[in-house]
Amino acid sequence: MARLIWTEESKWWLREIYAHISRDKPEAARRVVRGIFEKAHLALELPDAGYAVGRKDYPGLRALLYGQYRIVYQPHPDGTVYVLGVFHGALDLKRHLRLR
């Protein structure tokens, strides 16, 4: 059975996104986090929907876009999809995921 698993780091990123937006617009923060959550579920239906992110160190690492955010995930053969993080488009993924 396919499952979407949010890593502790990805949960941390979601909380940070929510906290940042909610300072000025609490309802917008809820909409953005809900939208990210819903978009991530697309990876369960279509694991290859996102664009390839990594190289040999991260086989199968992909990202889906939601507004200005990148939802980085890794599908596994058993149907499980791990969400590794949600990053603002301005952030350097190489720095946060140690991509080479």
8 A C-beta contact, residue 47 and residue 36: no
Mean pLDDT within 14-34: 95
Query: Distance between the two ends of the chain, CA-based, in angstroms?
Result: 33
pLDDT in tens, 30-78: 999 999 999 999 999 999 999 988 766 667 899 999 999 999 999 999 9
Q: Say how far apart CA 48 and CA 100 lie, in whole Å.
A: 21
Say which residue the tokens 């694991």 belong to.
47
72 forms beta bridges with 63, 85
- Residue 99: per-residue pLDDT: 47
pLDDT at 79 > cutoff 70: yes
pLDDT in tens, 86-97: 987 656 666 666
pTM of the model: 0.86
Q: Say how far apart CA 26 and CA 6 lie, in whole Å.
A: 23
Q: How far is CA 17 from the centre of its chain?
A: 12
Task: Please determine, looking at this structure, whether the domain spanning 4-97 carries the CATH number 1.10.3720.10.
Answer: no
